[in-house]
Homo-oligomer: A and B are copies of this chain.
Amino acid sequence: MSLFFNVVPVADAITMARRVAVRTETETVPLADAFRRVLADDVRTDVDIPGFTRSVMDGYAVRAAETTGSSDTNPAILAFRGRIAMGTGADGRVNASECMYIPTGGILPAGADAVVMAENTELLGNDVLVKKPVAHGENVLLYNEDFPQGAIVLRKGRRISVQDTGVLAAAGCKGVPVSRLPRVGIISTGNELVTVDTVPGTGQVRDVNTVVVASFVREQGCLPVVYGIVRDERDAFSGALSRAAAECDAVLISGGSSKDDRDMAAAVIADLGEVLVHGVAIAPGKPTIIGRCRNVPVMGLPGHPAAAFIVMMVIGRHLLAGMTGETVPEPRTVPAKLALNVPSAKGREDYVRVRVENGIATPLFGKSGLLNTLVQSNGVVRVPAGREGLETGETVDVILW
């Protein structure tokens, strides 16, 4: 192998990650378990929402025109014709110069077209004094104005949010079609690695990537399957990868991907399948690998935790989204002014950790192995491949994490 990478642009790496991804099957889960899952089909409502014209206030159902010009000193006077009960069929009717008491959520009685808030009324004997006019339709939700029966309420590919679970409930979706959680095998490789419960000896470091990759996989709505630390020995590594590829829907390997002759991730992936990308024009993260073992996508991440994290965020999430069918939203950014120049090599996308405070983004020029910059930063600034750097005072978009 050459000492040099044949790097591809970040966009090509993302395309390849999407291409090797294999969709998991659709399964149906109870609504109570659907939060954070990825919708595998469009969901339609089986009923009109709302199913009837209802009040959004406690107050009086009226004919709006009869309240025109009313005020504290010159109230409209309407005859009180009883109360609307909750949860039962409509039984009332409001005729001219009449009103009915209606609680929030009650069915608007026939004849009425608006609701006056209780606070703007006064009950006087059998009359209701209305002290503030309402417009036609005021304080009322119209029959099926939210979603008509059969309308799509949520589209497939959506990660189900808190609010979305409510829409699914209203639509009667008690079993939600979601993509099965992809099982993602996680392998950390390196002779220098020891487990977290070991005190590292000279030359040794604790395995940070297993838990970082597992947490990321969980955050992306997948199921981590941990294979632990594998030595930099071809047989051990090959065995672990074969096993993970047989048991999982995708495999993420960290370490063993740089162009050192001791590094073997690419060689072993090539043995068991194919390497499609080895080297991406991204910093940190150049030695990234994308390949597959038979039909199982395999990604090789850099050994440095901070670099592995950036590569997962920029490229790996597209692989996982390809497995669940999730539509990946544009990253959320906030604009901020750069506090310092950010140099960069042309032809390479740089992701520089920054701390944003009061609209000022201060780059944390930590070396990519430093963990403290990951904790102290609250986002990254992307330097596009076509730029040689960003200048102090320039307004940049910070991708928050």
Which residues of A does B touch, CB under 8 Å? Answer: 3-4, 31-32, 35, 46-47, 49-52, 54, 56, 58, 85-90, 103-107, 118-119, 141, 145-147, 153-154, 161-170, 172-174, 190-193, 196-197, 199-212, 214-216, 218-219, 226, 232, 258-260, 262-263, 303-305, 309, 332-335, 367-372, 374-375, 400-401
Contacts and interface: CB of A to CB of B under 8 A. Distances in A.
Contacts of A86: 190-192, 203, 232, 262
A309 B197 CA distance: 42
A53 to B, nearest CB: 11
A371 B163 CA distance: 8
A57 to B, nearest CB: 8
A333 B218 CA distance: 25
A375 B172 contact: no
A54 B199 CA distance: 17
A166 B209 contact: yes
Contacts of A367: 56, 141
A214 B32 contact: yes
Contact of A201 (B49, B89, B141): B89
Copy count, this protein chain: 2
Contacts of A173: 196
Given A90-B202, A164-B375, A207 B169 contact: yes
Given A87-B190, A166-B371, 7 more contacts: A56-B367, A86-B191, A86-B262, A141-B367, A147-B372, A153-B371, A153-B375
- Chain A's interface: helix, strand, loop or mixed, by majority? loop
Contact of A260 (B32, B104, B190): B104
B56 A212 contact: no
Contact of A196 (B31, B212, B263): B31
A303 B104 contact: yes
10 closest A-B pairs by beta carbon, nearest first, are A87-B192, A87-B191, A166-B212, A89-B202, A35-B215, A58-B260, A163-B374, A162-B215, A86-B191, A166-B208
Contact of A163 (B214, B218, B309, B368): B309
A203 B106 contact: yes
Given A32-B226, A86-B232, A167-B375, A197 B174 contact: yes
A106 to B, nearest CB: 7
Most buried by B among A87, A145, A333, A335: A87
Given A56-B368, A90-B202, A369-B50, A196 B169 contact: yes
Contacts of A375: 153-154, 163-164, 167
8 contacts: A31-B211, A47-B199, A58-B263, A103-B262, A106-B203, A118-B259, A118-B260, A172-B206
A3 B118 contact: yes
Contact of A215 (B4, B165, B226): B165
A369 B211 contact: no
B370 A259 contact: no
B232 A146 contact: no
Contacts of A204: 51, 87
Given A146-B372, A259-B58, A168 B118 contact: no
Nearest to A309: B163
Contacts of A303: 104-105
A263 B58 CA distance: 10
B202 A258 contact: no
A371 B49 CA distance: 9
Contact of A87 (B103, B168, B193): B193
A153 to B, nearest CB: 7
A174 B196 contact: yes
B172 A212 contact: no
